[in-house]
Amino acid sequence: MIDNFDELVDWVNENGGYAYRHVGHLRDYVGKGRMGVNVAGAISDALAAVDLSHLPVTIPLDQTFPVVIWRSVAEAKRTGLPHAPAAGAIDLLREIAATAQPMSRAQVWSTHTLLNRSAVVAQMAASAKEGAR
């Protein structure tokens, strides 16, 4: 069970550089009981403090809404750990989302599915490269 942002960082690292949590979990990590604009800001700040990026860019106020979280490219460079598959694509989505309408649940889940598929493709490519040696 994940109880704080440090444990969330460990979980993200163990899961290939990305994961998802519901807003309610993130709210609990900042020690708040009710979601509001200030709590959403505190969640975003707390994620940034541990070098995690998130999508949607604005944390939703609905505690059941999923949030895709990934290790930022800066954190990957600092630690030497690989960043999430398709992190560049997520950064582009983040830029687009910042100027567009808020993301729907379906869009967030689609992003998470894209990451999962990207990870599978990366594993297959690595296996193929190993097999060719």
The full DSSP string for 91-110 is HHHHHHHHHSSPPPHHHHHH
pLDDT digits (tens, 9 = 90+) for 97-130: 565 556 677 777 677 677 766 665 666 666 666 7
- Other Cβ atoms less than 10 A from the Cβ of 83: the count is 22
Q: Are 53 and 85 in contact (CB under 8 A)?
A: no
Q: Is the pLDDT of residue 93 over 90?
A: no
Q: Is the pLDDT of residue 96 over 70?
A: no
- Extents of the domains making up the chain: 5-132
pLDDT category of residue 54 using cuts at 50, 70 and 90: confident
The C-alpha atoms of residue 22 and residue 62 are separated, in whole angstroms, by: 9
Is the pLDDT higher at 30 or at 126? 30
Supply the pLDDT for residue 39.
Answer: 96
Summarize the confidence of residues 28-33 as an average pLDDT. Answer: 93
The residue written with tokens 């993200």 in the block is 12
DSSP letter (8 states) at residue 72: -
Summarize the confidence of residues 44-56 as an average pLDDT. Answer: 89
